[in-house]
Amino acid sequence: MNQKQTDEKFMRRCLQLARNGWQHAKPNPMVGAVITWQPTDEMGHFRGEPIIIGEGWHQRCGEGHAEVNAFASVEEKDVPKLPESTIYVSLEPCAHYGKTPPCADLIVSKDVKRVVVGCVDSFAKVQGRGIEKIKAAGIDVTVGVLEAECRELNRRFMTFHEKKRPYIILKWAQTQNGFLDDQGQNLPISSTFTRMLVHKLRAENDAILVGHVTENREHPQLNVRDWRGESPEKFVLSHENTIEKILATCRERNYQSLIVEGGAATHKAFLAQDLWDEIRIETAPMVVSGGTRAAELPKEAVVWHREAYDGRTIVTLRRRSDVAK
């Protein structure tokens, strides 16, 4: 196994660990860290493959970061190996004092031989500073291992800090011929199972929005009932509560993701301002003679993922430029 393969192997383990922080790390990013050491013979030549001597992830906002937990997991007998070890981190180590001390300083204090970083942190107080601090200490640093996968894991966090707005998911369910209702009357489109997936999506995001027409007609709860997790904060789009005000509120409250449930006019309003990152469409095998048509998809929207359940198809679209990455 060459160095590139070895680095990717342990970075994948970092990503596995990072996902454990899905519910409780936010608004911080999900991060995993792995510490490896490779045995040598009496002549100092490497023998065998590197082994993991420590690993951890960011479990909860305000508590120890992935690097802290990884170093804490190293057994006492392995501590002397740290000066010859490599630490893999899926996201750049922080270089500032927040609720916890800088992880870049911790890494330097441990005097590790090498640091491998998945991707640079978009947060303004980091953005390369952690990497530079570690390099300045004379430690070998490699950046960009499985970069696309590492950014994908924290796409909500990245969007929030890079675009100064939440990650926006436009979502709707439609008939096979593209209607959201039946002659303006509410039409159950989702199955029991796909409705559960909708609740799962809600549990994974911070805020949710509907237009005032949908709110007045259907009074949707927009909470999590068929899945475990916290319900997103509900917003209603109106003349008083505009898109701009809602996005500003999300920014103030550190809400990094927003589901836009509808209706059609609300979806069109977001699309008109090019405010979207994902579009999730559930299509059921039913046809109606008329009603409210779903919004027209933007030209840059391409299929990123497709699923099929109970005769229904769930398609997730993203921007062509994002899928190409």
Closest CA to 210 of 276, 265, 261, 275: 261
Torsion of CA 47, 49, 53, 54, to 10 degrees: 150
Q: Report the CATH fold assignment for 3-156.
A: Cytidine Deaminase; domain 2 (3.40.140)
Catalytic residue among 55, 63, 67, 162: 67
The answer on pLDDT for 125 being more than 70 is: no
Residue that the structure tokens 């996005």 belong to? 247
The answer, yes or no, to whether residue 97 has pLDDT greater than 90, is no
Task: Report the pLDDT value the prediction gives residue 44, as an integer from 0 to 100.
Answer: 64
**Rg, the chain, Cα only:** 23
184/58: higher pLDDT: 58
Angstrom distance (rounded) from CA 318 to CA 144: 23
Domain positions in the chain are 3-156, 165-324
Q: What kind and span of H or E run contains 209?
A: strand 207-211
Check pLDDT > 70 for residue 325: no
Instruction: Determine the average pLDDT of the residues in 100-122.
Output: 93
84 counts as catalytic: no
Cα–Cα distance, 233 to 223 (Å, whole number)? 8
Tens digit of each residue's pLDDT (9 = 90 or more) over 219-243:
899 999 999 999 999 999 999 999 9
Helix (H) or strand (E) holding 160: helix 155-163
Q: Please give the full DSSP string across 93-140, using - where no structure is assigned.
A: PP-S-SSS--HHHHHHHHT-SEEEEEE---STTTTTHHHHHHHHTT-E
Nearest to 145 by CA among 117, 121, 122: 117
Looking at the structure, give the CATH architecture of the domain made up of residues 165-324.
3-Layer(aba) Sandwich (3.40)
- For residue 164, the model assigns a pLDDT of 95
Q: Residue 128 has what pLDDT?
A: 83
Confidence of residue 161 (pLDDT cuts 50, 70, 90): very high
Question: How confident is the model over 150-162, as a mean pLDDT?
Answer: 95
Amino acid at 167: Y
Give CA–CA dist 217/239, Å, rounded: 17
Question: Is the backbone peptide bond immediately before 27 cis, with ω within 30 degrees of 0?
Answer: yes
Amino acid 124: pLDDT: 58
pLDDT at residue 36 greater than cutoff 80: yes
**Least-confidence region, from 45-49, 158-162, 229-233, 269-273:** 45-49
Q: What is the mean pLDDT of the chain?
A: 94
Quick one: pLDDT band at residue 133, thresholds 50, 70, 90? Answer: very high
pLDDT at 96: 74
